[in-house]
């Protein structure tokens, strides 16, 4: 996974009023936690935007008052009208810990079922993945190169050595469906064969 580096400043004052004042200054109230401990701090809105408004997922390396922490974003709150980031929760981890993150899914290859007139229907844009940060990829690549008409791929079809998918095993990722034109062509073909008989 890619690393995104930011700096933060500890904050002493907690509460809605103080948080509102911070946002007016272009700061985002945050908390980083692990093992029952937490750090309240702020980051500059402009600095953190690159890790938020993107389909990519990052390990966020935060330096707060000289201390550096490896984290992942666990939760975010947005303003319902302006989409302004209101609050961010980060989870602190070390190199030996497994973490769970949602990674984007990318479908690659040319499915025989599509060449035969079918259509690829995707059912998942992200997958929940668990493993050590050093072993996690930037995205989950799913090959559709062998999919025929009416075939599908589910989570249990994916196997990885250094990490695992934490979503349900029977979760559908994609399938090749027959289009109306394909169905009509098949019906016409069947009708022609019956007449020949």
Whole-number Å distance between alpha carbons of 103 and 140: 7
* Strands (E) located in the chain: 2-10, 27-34, 37-44, 58-64, 67-78, 85-92, 98-108, 118-122, 126-132, 140-143, 152-154, 163-165, 172-178
Q: Is the pTM of this model over 0.75?
A: yes
Tell me phi and psi for residue 62, to 5 degrees.
-110, 130
**In the chain, domain spans:** 2-93, 100-196
List pLDDT tens digits, range 93-123.
Answer: 998 999 999 999 999 999 999 999 999 999 9
Q: Indicate the class that CATH gives domain 100-196.
A: mainly beta
In CATH, the number for domain 2-93 is: 2.40.240.10
Element (H, E) at 26: none
122: left (phi over 0), alpha (psi -120 to 50) or beta: beta
The first and second tokens of residue 22, run together, are: 């911070």
Q: Where are the alpha helices (DSSP H) in 86-136?
A: 112-115
List pLDDT tens digits, range 59-80.
Answer: 999 999 899 999 999 999 998 8
């Amino acid at each position: 996974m890619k690393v995104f580096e930011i700096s933060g400043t500890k904050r002493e004052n907690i509460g809605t009023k103080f948080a509102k004042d911070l946002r007016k200054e272009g700061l985002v109230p945050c908390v980083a936690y692990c093992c029952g401990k937490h750090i309240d701090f702020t980051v500059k809105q402009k600095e953190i935007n690159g890790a938020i408004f993107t389909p990519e997922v990052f390990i966020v390396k935060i330096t707060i008052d000289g201390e550096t922490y490896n984290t992942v974003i666990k939760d975010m709150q947005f303003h319902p009208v302006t989409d302004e980031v209101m609050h961010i929760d980060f989870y602190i981890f070390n190199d030996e810990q497994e973490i769970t993150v949602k990674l984007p899914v990318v479908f690659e290859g040319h499915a025989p079922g599509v060449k035969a007139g079918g259509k690829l229907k995707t059912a998942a844009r992200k997958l929940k993945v668990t493993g050590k940060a050093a072993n996690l990829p930037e995205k989950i690549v799913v090959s559709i190169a062998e999919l025929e008409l009416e075939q599908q791929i589910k989570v249990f079809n994916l196997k990885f050595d250094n990490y695992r998918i934490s979503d349900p095993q029977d979760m559908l990722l994609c399938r090749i469906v027959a289009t109306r034109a394909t169905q009509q062509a098949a019906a016409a073909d069947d009708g022609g064969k019956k007449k020949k008989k």
